[in-house]
Amino acid sequence: MTTDYDFWLFDLDGTLVDIEPAYPRKVMGAVGDRLGVEFTDRERDALWYGFGGTRTRTLKDRDIDQQEFWRLFHEEEDPVTRAEATYLYDDAERFLATLDAPVGLVTHCQQYLTDPVLDHLDIADWFDTVVCCDDDIGWKPDPKPVELAMREMNVGHNGHRGVLAGDNPSDIGAAWNAGLDGVHVGRRSPAETGRCVRGDRRVASLLDLSSSQGR
């Protein structure tokens, strides 16, 4: 399958990398302290990952203003500490090594957090472009961030066939809205995430996409 596409786009968090569990629980605990709320471990996980809308429900159940929560969250986040707690999925490293095509990153992770992660893991040079979504660029499933990445790789709407792989429904939506195939990378079971994501392909490991024709 690696030769089926002229270019590849990937989500970052939950697709290529993940974070040691202690870090998000510590950050969410600090945010809770500032809000005067003691979050359970389950609530801390829900607030970090937001599976199946659990983040919104948790904040509503605790009568917490979302804007205030995110303001405190960003104040508590330390880019270097987060980067040091982030690890690369083994299959991601092995799979990307097989690709002989332009490769880009389209992530909701903000630039000030993304850059330290890529530098810490020494993977910045894996990507021909890195697009960090924001209010100006747009947020997946809006196709605009994907289309920006395509333009920067010179593969936008000029006959090249591409794909976007990610772990979130918004990744698949962005791929389809931009006219690309969408691959859902299911790192966790639907029972854990509370959702079953459709995609042109669904895999548990990126290596499931490998073909014998990779370099």
Last residue of a domain, one of 59, 82, 105: 82
Determine the Cα–Cα distance for residues 149 and 64; give it in Å rounded to an integer.
35
pLDDT in tens, 155-187: 977 788 999 999 988 999 999 999 999 999 988
Return the pLDDT at 214. 38
Please give the model's pTM, rounded to 2 decimal places.
Answer: 0.89
Last residue of a domain, one of 82, 116, 131: 82
pLDDT in tens, 66-77: 999 999 999 999
Confidence of residue 148 (pLDDT cuts 50, 70, 90): very high
32/102 same-domain check: no
Mean residue pLDDT of the chain comes to: 90
69/128 same-domain check: no
Confidence of residue 120 (pLDDT cuts 50, 70, 90): very high
The token pair at 144 is 């605009």
Return the pLDDT at 194. 60
The torsion of the CA quartet 190, 51, 58, 105, rounded to 10 degrees, works out to 170
More confident residue, 196 or 162: 162
